[in-house]
Amino acid sequence: MNAFNSTASLMFEYTPPQKGMTWIAMGTGAPPNVWAVSVYDSANIYIAGDFPNIGGDTNKAYVARWDGTTWQRMGSGLNASAFTVYAQDTSNVYVGGAFTLASGIGASYIARWDGATWRAMGTGTDGATRFISAADNSNVYVGGYFPSIGGDTNKSSIARWDGATWRTMGSGIPNSRVYTVLALDNSNVYVGATFTNLGGDPNKNYIVRWDGATWRAMGSGPSGRVYGISAVDTSNVYVGGEFANIGGDLNKSNIAKWDGATWQRMGSGITFTNNYVMTVLAVDNSNVYIGGQFTNIGGDANKQYITKWDGQTYQRMGTGVQWIVNGISPVNNSTLYVVGRFADIGGDTKKNCIAKWTNNY
């Protein structure tokens, strides 16, 4: 990996915060928008987004790594926006988006960072890659807006990378956009997208589960798009998006839990009108973090754009953030990294599009 340029303008004087749960800046942030974050450990936090540079360094274009202190280059960056990043380990960091070059290497909408250089993944996809999840490095699941891979329309919008070649998942998800993928294991791959009546089944709406051989319905599905999925196990799958109800239940608006057989309420949900959930992170069933476009929950203006579900109620995270949250990734239950479109947190413009939430320092 290229060494950090010590002359860059990212260095700043660190003032230890007071003890307690708080938001902490990461350099000067990464404006104008960070779409995704993936944490391997506290020294390897990867982000992907619309930023053409960080601190003026154009080698940190659209993708970068935070080493716990400063932003580090990943080669010379990408030539266009990245929408997703997934760190299986520090030698297998998968990035997808709208780019076609990674450090000048041909990479059609997806590439792998091996810790030192970018690697192509076959011929890449035939359109934008929106989300990546992996069971292991031989089972990397990729979703997006692509009509095919290498011209194969059975790999439309969804496919599996086996480490060497692209594999079909049934006949794909045609005429749809995949927004989120979660691979718990190879028999439990959850996919959220824009489809309805997948394969002619009226119960396969907006979300399905791949069991390793076929697509399975999850009840009758929600009434609208799914943008975020996270799970503790197959009996505790948390789903967020832009849906008014599930099965007609308005208390399952924008957020709900799948228990393996039925959809369960999470309180009274998150009011549907002008609101949506963009990302969900379940550390465990008492610590489910939810981010997106919502300005309060239950009338509490401090639960704006981000909140924590403790298994019974929604909890504040400080006074929230100032605009949309796109992604959340943890080191542990005491330390999370949050990214989005926010210009500041609590008026601190160094917390611009990315910040750390912690009570462990």
- Average pLDDT estimate for 320-347: 94
Q: pTM (2 decimals)?
A: 0.93
Mean pLDDT for all residues in the chain: 93
Give the CATH number of domain 36-358.
Answer: 2.130.10.10
Q: How confident is the model at residue 92 (pLDDT cuts 50, 70, 90)?
A: very high
Percent of the chain with pLDDT over 70: 94
The structural domains of the chain, with segments of one domain joined by +, span 36-358
pLDDT at 359: 75
pLDDT 10s digits, 109-155: 999 999 999 999 999 999 999 999 999 999 999 999 999 999 999 99
pLDDT of residue 21: 77
Nearest to 1 by CA among 96, 100, 103, 79: 103
What b/e sequence results for 111-130 when a residue is b if at least 16 CB atoms lie within 10 Å of its CB, and e otherwise? bbbeeeebeebeebbbbbbb
> What confidence score (pLDDT) does residue 232 get?
97
pLDDT band at 40 (very low <50, low <70, confident <90, very high): very high
60 touches 81 (CB < 8 A):
no
| pLDDT tops 90 at residue 281 | yes
pLDDT digits (tens, 9 = 90+) for 73-89: 999 999 999 999 999 99
The burial of 312, by beta-carbon neighbours within 10 Å (0-12 exposed, 13-18 middle, 19 or more buried), is given as exposed
What average pLDDT does this structure show over 311-322? 94
Given a cut of 60, whether residue 264 has pLDDT beyond it is yes
Greatest CA span in the chain, whole angstroms? 59
What's the average model confidence in pLDDT over 299-327? 95
Mean pLDDT of 194-209: 97
Q: What is the pLDDT of residues 17-32, one digit of tens each?
A: 444 579 999 999 999 9
Over range 272-293, report the average pLDDT: 96
Q: Is the pLDDT of residue 12 over 90?
A: no
Asked whether 242 and 227 are in contact (CB, 8 A), the reply is yes
The confidence score (pLDDT) of residue 360 equals 55
> 251 in helix, strand or coil?
helix
